[in-house]
Amino acid sequence: MTRGLLVIACVSCAAVPLRWGASCPSIPPSCEALAKADLVFIADVLEATSVPRRNDRGMPYPEGITNYRFNVVEGVKGIEPGEFRAQFYYGGGSDLNSFGLGLRYLIFANRAATGIYKSGCSLTREIRKTGEGEWLRAMRVELDACMKRP
């Protein structure tokens, strides 16, 4: 009986894909986050179209890809203001983010080998229209100081 339960447990674990590294160990300090990010920008989400991924049996994975159209209000690193279209991974773990339509975000994005971006486990956050001014000013000062360091 014990052997049977062990076999069932092993088969069950083998059938479920593990997501090592899907959780964030810790959010890096601002200078480290800036150095690691491919793009850092403040943008409004103008359009978001999700593309769910499915396994060989047609069942949806907990993660997928969203095609975004942003209005970049301020480019901090690697991007200029204006319209920007990009794909981002979403779901499945705390290392992935998604962005709400019509909302504004400070985004720290890392490009995966696939060319698709990830923004989780970073300082990415929604910027609300009210009450966020002081935090955003302080973050801009920090990021400017980071960029001036040798």
Domains and CATH numbers, the chain: 24-148 (2.40.50.120)
Mean of pLDDT values over 94-102: 79
pLDDT at 86 over 60: yes
DSSP at 114: T
Q: What is the mean pLDDT of the chain?
A: 78
Measuring CA to CA, which residue among 114, 60, 126 is closest to residue 87? 114
Q: How far apart are CA 50 and CA 127, in angstroms?
A: 22
pLDDT at 5 over 50: no
Asked which of 9-23, 41-55, 129-143 is least confident by mean pLDDT, the reply is 9-23
The whole-angstrom distance between residue 20's C-alpha and the CA centroid of its chain comes to: 16
Model confidence at 91, pLDDT cuts 50, 70, 90, reads confident
Confidence at residue 93, expressed as pLDDT on a 0 to 100 scale: 61
What ranges in the chain are assigned the alpha helix state H? 2-15, 30-36, 133-148
Biggest alpha carbon distance in the chain? 66
Confidence at residue 21, expressed as pLDDT on a 0 to 100 scale: 42
Most confident residue range from 25-29, 123-127, 130-134: 123-127
Q: How far apart are CA 112 and CA 47, in angstroms?
A: 22
Measuring CA to CA, which residue among 79, 149, 147, 135 is closest to residue 109? 79
pLDDT at 87 over 90: yes
Q: Looking at this protein, which amino acid is placed at residue 27?
A: I
Question: Percentage of the chain with pLDDT > 90?
Answer: 37
